[in-house]
Each structure stands twice: as C-alpha cells, then as structure tokens.
Structure 1
Amino acid sequence: MGYLNSVLSSSSNQVHADDAPVSGGGLSQNGKFSYGYASSPGKRSSMEDFYETRIDGVDGEVVGLFGVFDGHGGARAAEYVKQNLFSNLIRHPKFISDTKSAIADAYSHTDSEFLKSENTQNRDAGSTASTAILVGDRLLVANVGDSRAVICRGGNAIAVSRDHKPDQTDERQRIEDAGGFVMWAGTWRVGGVLAVSRAFGDRLLKQYVVADPEIQEEKVDSSLEFLILASDGLWDVVTNEEAVSMVKPIKDPEDAAKRLMQEAHQRGSADNITVVVVRFLGDQEGSSSHGGSG
C-alpha cells in the first residue's frame, strides 16, 4: 500500500517511554515559520494523543502541515489519522488549486478508509483532528471534535476552530435530524456515549458523528504572530487568552509548547496533553534570527 514505509519511519516520533513527555521542533526551509511540539500522557495510564508536524514540497510550494489527534476508545483511530490524513491531502489533485475542498475530501476519504480497515475490530475507536495547513500566505485550519486551534493576531487571542460538542444547537439539530439523540451523562453525549459530535471513526455512531471538518482560512501577514494547536488536555484547564499570553514572550516554539504542557499538568489536567506551536517569522525577524538558538 505504499504508505507502509512512511508509517515505519514516521512512527518513531510517537514512542512514549512509560509516561515520559516528548518534545521537538524545526524551522521551514524558506525561513517563514518555525514550529515546536510537546506531548505527555499526563495523569492517564495510556496515551491516545498523537501529533504530526511535517514540512513538504507540493508543486514547488513549501507546505507546512500540523495536526493534533486525540483518540478515544483506544489509540488506533488517532494513530491511523496521524499516519494517513496529510499523505492523502498532499496527493489530492486540487491541493494547491482548491485547498479547502481538498481538505474536506481528505478528511472524508481518511475516515472511510479507517472504517474499512477496522472491519475485523469489535472496539469502536475514534479521534478528533485539529489541523493547520500553511500554503504560501494562507493558513487553513480544519477541525473535527474538541481539539482546538487558537491564533495570536495583533496581540489578541482568536479561536480559529470551534469545539464540536453535542449540546451546540446546530450540532444537536444535525444529530436529531439523522435519527440520533443527545443526552446528559456526566456531560452532554451523542447517544449517551460520546462527548464530541464530530470525529474520525466511531463506527457505531457514524451516521451522527461525522468527520466533516469546519475549515477557516486566515491570511499570513505581519499581524499574525503564532498558532497554538492542542488537545482538550490543555483547553480544559487553560483559556485561549492565557495560552496566548504564556506563549507570547517565548521565542522558541518548542519551549512554548513545553510551557503550555507543563502548565496544564500543574493545573490538574486529567487528560493526555499535546500542544503544537507554530511561530510566523516576518521578513525582518526571519533575516535577523539566524544567529539565535535554533
């Protein structure tokens, strides 16, 4: 299936020794952005969060692909999405010409391929996805579930994705129109089971829990400072504004991601915690930062 080799080579950045946090980062070849990530099982005994940070070339364009995938019912769905979503996306014939429709298609295709691959499994794994695609001066954020993307623009924290929760009016309506129901079971849940209303996988709830992403486009200009992608292990205990103000003074995005992860842990987050920070380097900063610690 072609992707086996890439699976073998890319799975190494996801190995967690017991519960040791991992972190890392890099810089784009064109010096336009730097990125860092930090990921920890936190207080959980198992790790169901995955992340992907990838820089690729498509039709001569440098493309940044960043994602946070928070699994439920086991790690299989999140791991599958991490290994296949971006590969499916950059192979899409309209990736450059109609990026939004390529993203929507890649989400849908990855979801149906995962469900096909699962037919021997009796467990019902699923995963959120919060992804950011950088193409030229465009930032496209796509989201299913409750991992979240927040940008800092002109010093302000702006959420560029919406958490998909079953009690949102439009989400509840969509689920009920499809013949499902939403009920309170400690929190609002689809069918009394699942606390997110959109996800990859979740075969038994698939007609209600769709993998259709909401996509938001932002222009990359001098007012766009950085982007934070994180699983709800961060957002359950840290507000958008707090996260942005913590990242602001930290130039190195890996250090910034680690700072947020540690803060969530100290505030008692009960979940796996995964954070990706992408810093946009304006021309002035890009040309003067080569002497910095990379």
Structure 2
Amino acid sequence: MAGMCCGFVGEGDSSANSRPSRRRNLDMLPFKYIADMTVAPSGTSRKRRQADLSGKKDFESCEGSNGDRGNEKSKKNKNESSKVSENKPSTEGNLEDGEFPKFGVTSVCGRRRDMEDSVSVQTSFYEELFHFFGVFDGHGCSHVATMCKERLHEILKEQINESQENFEWNSTMQQGFARMDDEVQRWNSSSQTVTCRCELQTPHCDAVGSTAVVAVVTPDKIIVSNCGDSRAVLCRNGVAIPLSFDHKPDRPDELIRVEAAGGRVIYWDGPRVLGVLAMSRAIGDNYLKPYVISEPEVTVTERRVEDECLILASDGLWDVVSNETACGVVRMCLKAHMMTSPAESPANNEVTTDGSDQACSDASILLTKLALARHSSDNVSVVVIDLRKDQRPTSNSNYNLIN
C-alpha cells in the first residue's frame, strides 16, 4: 500500500508489514472527519457565506460533511457586476447568472498517521459570481497545505485585480501559484517558530510541500489549475472528463523535463524524483528545485447545460477509484435526492439551517468510504460541486439511477 502514498518514501502505515497488526490498529483508531464552516457576518446574504474547510475540528467519524447551497439569482445589479475592466474575466454567462454552486466536502485521515490534506471553499471570492474550490495534499508535514488553504484564493484575487490589460486565465493562475510558492519559500527561510510536526525535521522545513488542484467556477467557465497528483474530473452527460492530469515522475513529458534540469527519476517503491518524491510538481519542496516545480497546468472549460458535477480530490481517492466510478457514484447520489420528495429531503430548493447540501455531502462521504473500503493508504479529501440547474422529476416512475 505504501506505493500509493503521494509523499515521501516511508510515509505509509508503519504496520503494513503485519496484516493482523494493521487490523488491530484500524479497530482502535477511528477515522477522522475534518471540517470547519466559516459563515459570513450577520446581515450578509446567505449566498455569500464562505466555507473554509481546514481541518480545525476533529470528529471521530467520517459520517459528516459540509457544503453550501442556493439557487436564487444574484441580488447584485448586472451593471454593478460589469464594472470589471473589459480585459478582466466577465461575470456574465449564458447559464443562469447568480447561480450559487451547491457543494459537499469530506476529508478523512484514513490509515495515515497524520492528517496532511487541507480543503478550501471560498464562495463569491471575486465579483459575487466567481467561486473558488481547492484541495491541497501535503507531504512531509501539513503546514504548506495549510498555507495554500489560507492564502491561495487571496493571491488569485489579487492577481485578477492587477491584470489591467490582456487578462488571460492561464497566466493569472501560473503567476498566482508562483507567488504562493515564493511565500512558502520565504516562510521556510524565516525564523518563525514551527508549530507543526515536520517529518524530516530540517532547520527551515525546506523538505515540505503540497499538491494543489484548484477550480474557479464562473457562470460560463470552469478554470482548473493543477500542480501535483490531486485531480479534477467533470461529469458531463454521464461521461467522466478529466480537467487535470497527474504530474507523476514517469509521465513521459515530466520525465524529460526532470532529466533536462539535471535530475533523475529513481524507481523506489514507484517512480520518485531523486528516489524521494512521488510527484514531479508541487508547491514547496525547496530542496528538490529545479526538478520539482510549482508551475501548474491550466484548463479552461466552457460550461454546458449537460454538465452535472465537478469532483476535486486528493490522490487518496484516485489511487483506488477511477474517474468513471467516481462520477457514477456522484450521479447516483444526485439523482436519488432528486427523486426524494421535498418534504423528506433537504436537497430541495431551500438551504438547510447549516448551509449544507445533502446530496453533494452524501456523495463526498460515499466516495471517501469507497476509497477506504478499497484500502486507500492515504488521506482522502473530496469536494463535490453540483453544476446542474435545480430540477426535480415530475413523477417517481422508472428513473434510472446509474447509467
């Protein structure tokens, strides 16, 4: 199982050599569900509530998840929204303007000793209609993933505001990730006291990093920026479409790039950069530069009416669950809630008291449970975003749950 972990050699479960021992450890150590909800100040529209799922609260169960839901049109006048420069990203789309994304999040420690994943959800983080979702999978320690969770959406917002001419999503995302990497390097070289556990105990934590897969959802586009082996998958009309591609050291173009920079890919419990890191791109990992870079690959996808959901997850899910299976699970949950009568399910046109969307939450929980049932040896973090317009079947006659 250790070969499926995304971090350093030896980060797998220490009891992996003994099956009975591993079973006893799992019985004694409940899986941790990590979630935290930050609600906007009183008086702010519930459409502007922000979820910051950061791992601050530990519950000894993976039976819960947080999300947000809403389907009212934005109360902000379109003329006010269009104050952005013509070269800035447009907030007008051909889908329903003001559509607030419904989502669910689950993050579990699983069989790992420590929780090193972080998840960030920032609704309306820019111009009301732009929504930020990010999954960060740390290795070596959790503090780089935590920094990304706290800062990357703010950096991207600044980058958008600073783009006065020739705005382009690819360069904006790349510059934002570069700034995030610079902040991590400056923090590592500073004299700040480290309050987290750093696996390698280096003087300045330079052997610590994190993957980052980020999606910005607008009324008409899905912008995905990926650095590492976390992944984003779009489900469109029942078809799983990857919006990011894993940066594994043995990926042909990544192998060429690493070797051209003077590095080597050594097969030690799987392909690893210098025999250490099982990914070829990440934020942080100063000691492996320039072989491991923080430059993301960016995809910009036009939204369509047949788009159903978007899944962001760490490799703890993707190591054991295929894109197609993940999309099938989410579609099953979404359709099952559509069939439930409004009186029986919170997944109707109302936002529940805690801001959660039950269908997306159930889907994210089910995916994490599936990963654990298939013996994923890593932390598992999943974000499920519902991209559909609110619909409910007019009758309960033969409705196909899974195609």
Q: 2:123 aligns with which of 55, 73, 76?
A: 55
Partner of 1:27: 69
In the alignment, is the contact (CA less than 8 A) between 2:99 and 2:129 conserved in 1? no
Residue 322 of structure 2 is aligned to residue 254 of structure 1: no
1:217 CA drift (Å): 1.1
Partner of 1:229: 312
Partner of 2:279: 196
The within-5 A match list for 1:103-252 is 103-119=173-189, 120=191, 121-123=203-205, 124-251=207-334, 252=359
SS of match in other structure, 1:249: helix
CA offsets, 1:222-280, max 9 Å, x none?
A: 12111000001111111111111111021211111111011111111111000000111
Residue 114 of structure 2 is aligned to residue 46 of structure 1: yes
The structure with more strand, counted as a fraction of residues: 1
SS of match in other structure, 2:129: strand
Partner of 1:94: 163
In the alignment, is the contact (CA less than 8 A) between 1:32 and 1:280 conserved in 2? no
Rounded Cα–Cα distance in structure 1 between residues aligned with 2:53 and 2:317: 24
In the alignment, is the contact (CA less than 8 A) between 2:212 and 2:228 conserved in 1? yes
Q: 1:285 aligns with which of 368, 391, 394?
A: 391
Rounded Cα–Cα distance in structure 2 between residues aligned with 1:193 and 1:218: 34
Pairs aligned (count):
277
CA offsets, 1:93-141, max 9 Å, x none?
A: 2399423221111101000111110114433110001111012301001
Rounded Cα–Cα distance in structure 1 between residues aligned with 2:51 and 2:330: 27
Rounded Cα–Cα distance in structure 1 between residues aligned with 2:362 and 2:216: 22
State TM-score, norm by structure 1.
0.88
In the alignment, is the contact (CA less than 8 A) between 1:34 and 1:281 conserved in 2? no
In the alignment, is the contact (CA less than 8 A) between 2:125 and 2:132 conserved in 1? no
Q: Report the RMSD for the aligned CA atoms in angstroms.
A: 2.2
Rounded Cα–Cα distance in structure 2 between residues aligned with 1:139 and 1:268: 32
Output the amino acid matched with 2:142. Answer: A
Rounded Cα–Cα distance in structure 2 between residues aligned with 1:247 and 1:43: 24
Rounded Cα–Cα distance in structure 2 between residues aligned with 1:10 and 1:277: 13
Residue 71 of structure 2 is aligned to residue 17 of structure 1: no
1:159 CA drift (Å): 1.1
Partner of 2:32: none
Rounded Cα–Cα distance in structure 2 between residues aligned with 1:136 and 1:158: 19
In the alignment, is the contact (CA less than 8 A) between 1:111 and 1:211 conserved in 2? yes
In the alignment, is the contact (CA less than 8 A) between 2:55 and 2:118 conserved in 1? yes
Output the amino acid matched with 1:94. Answer: S
Q: Which has the larger radius of gyration?
A: 2
Mean alpha-carbon deviation: is it higher for 97-106 or for 129-138? 97-106
